[in-house]
Amino acid sequence: MKRVESNVKHIPYPQESVYAKVSDLNNLSYLADKIPAEQKDQFKTENLVCTSDTVKCTISPIGEIEFKVVSREPYKCVKMETLRSPIKLTFWIQIVSTGESSCKIKLTADADVNMFMAKMVEKPLADAIEKLADMMAMFQY
């Protein structure tokens, strides 16, 4: 198992607003539309399909990936697991209030890989988690 974590990101919106957006995966379509063009070029995401509990897309050159929400802890955490992916991945978003109108988030991913694969996936996974956290910190909630 390989764990990677983003740096803590401060968000100038209430914890409840951020949780409301990230806990309903339908909102990923909205968030995907807000990704800057230069970031979209790095991810090359196609065929994004979202429901309240799942998100499925094709990421070039990785292939098709599908996540499902496995638990929600109101206002604090959303945890997801891959249903379809080249590697088994558990991913969660933690949200902590820092006041009435601000919060901070941290993203964590556990990749279920052997030690050899862990060395190969660590840097790309850490980069992806950090970029995703950076993008989430830029959104309006």
CATH number, domain with residue 33 = 3.30.530.20
Tell me, what's the pLDDT at 64? 85
Structural domains in the chain (count): 1
Residue 74, classified by CB atoms within 10 Å of its CB into exposed (0-12), middle (13-18) or buried (19+), is exposed
What is the span of the domain harbouring residue 90? 2-138
The token pair that represents 88 in the structure block: 């088994």
Tell me, what's the pLDDT at 32? 63
Tell me, what's the pLDDT at 37? 61
Cα(45)–Cα(22) distance, rounded to whole angstroms?
18
The tens-digit pLDDT sequence of the chain (141 residues) is 789 999 999 999 999 999 999 999 988 776 666 555 665 565 567 788 889 999 998 877 677 889 999 999 999 999 999 999 888 999 999 999 999 999 999 999 999 888 888 888 888 889 889 988 988 898 888
Cα(55)–Cα(122) distance, rounded to whole angstroms?
23
Cα(47)–Cα(28) distance, rounded to whole angstroms?
13
For residue 96, list its beta bridge partners: 104
Q: Which position has the token pair 């941290």?
A: 106
Tell me, what's the pLDDT at 23? 94
Long-range pairs, 57-64, Cβ under 8 A, ≥24:
62/86
